[in-house]
Amino acid sequence: MEKHELDAEELEDEAIRGIRLLLRPLEKPAQERVVRHLIERYGLEVGRTSDERPRSNNSVERSDSKARARNDSDVDPTALLRSFSTAAELFTATGPPATGPERVLVIAAHQQIQSDDDSPIRAQSVQEQLKHLGYQVANITDSMSALIARRPQLVVQTGKSGRSRQARKEYKVTLEGYRAVARMTRATAQEETT
The enclosing domain of 173 has a CATH number of 1.10.10.10
Q: Tell me: do 44 and 85 sit in the same domain.
A: no
Please provide the size of the chain in residues: 194
Q: Tell me: do 134 and 41 sit in the same domain.
A: no
Give me the pLDDT at residue 165, please. Answer: 66
| Structural domains in the chain (count) | 2
Q: Tell me: do 55 and 113 sit in the same domain.
A: no
Q: Tell me: do 89 and 141 sit in the same domain.
A: yes
Beta strands in the chain (DSSP E): 121-122, 155-161, 168-173
Q: Tell me: do 112 and 162 sit in the same domain.
A: yes
Q: Tell me: do 102 and 154 sit in the same domain.
A: yes
Question: Does any domain span residue 68?
Answer: no
As beta bridge partners, residue 171 has 121, 157
- How far apart CA 136 and CA 14 sit, in angstroms, is 32
Host domain of residue 107? 77-193
| 19 residue type, one letter | I
Question: Does any domain span residue 2?
Answer: no
Q: Tell me: do 100 and 51 sit in the same domain.
A: no
Q: Tell me: do 98 and 133 sit in the same domain.
A: yes
- How far apart CA 153 and CA 170 sit, in angstroms, is 15
Give me the pLDDT at residue 122, please. Answer: 92
With residue 159 as reference, give the H or E element that holds it. Answer: strand 155-161
Per-residue pLDDT of the chain in tens (194 residues, 90 and over written 9)? 445 566 677 777 777 777 877 888 888 888 888 887 777 777 777 664 445 444 443 333 333 333 444 454 556 788 888 888 899 999 999 988 889 999 999 999 999 998 876 789 999 999 999 999 999 999 998 999 999 999 999 999 998 888 776 688 899 999 999 999 999 887 766 666 65
Question: Does any domain span residue 20?
Answer: yes
Q: Tell me: do 81 and 111 sit in the same domain.
A: yes
Question: Does any domain span residue 3?
Answer: no
Q: Tell me: do 122 and 185 sit in the same domain.
A: yes
Question: Using only C-alpha atoms, what is the Rg of the chain?
Answer: 19
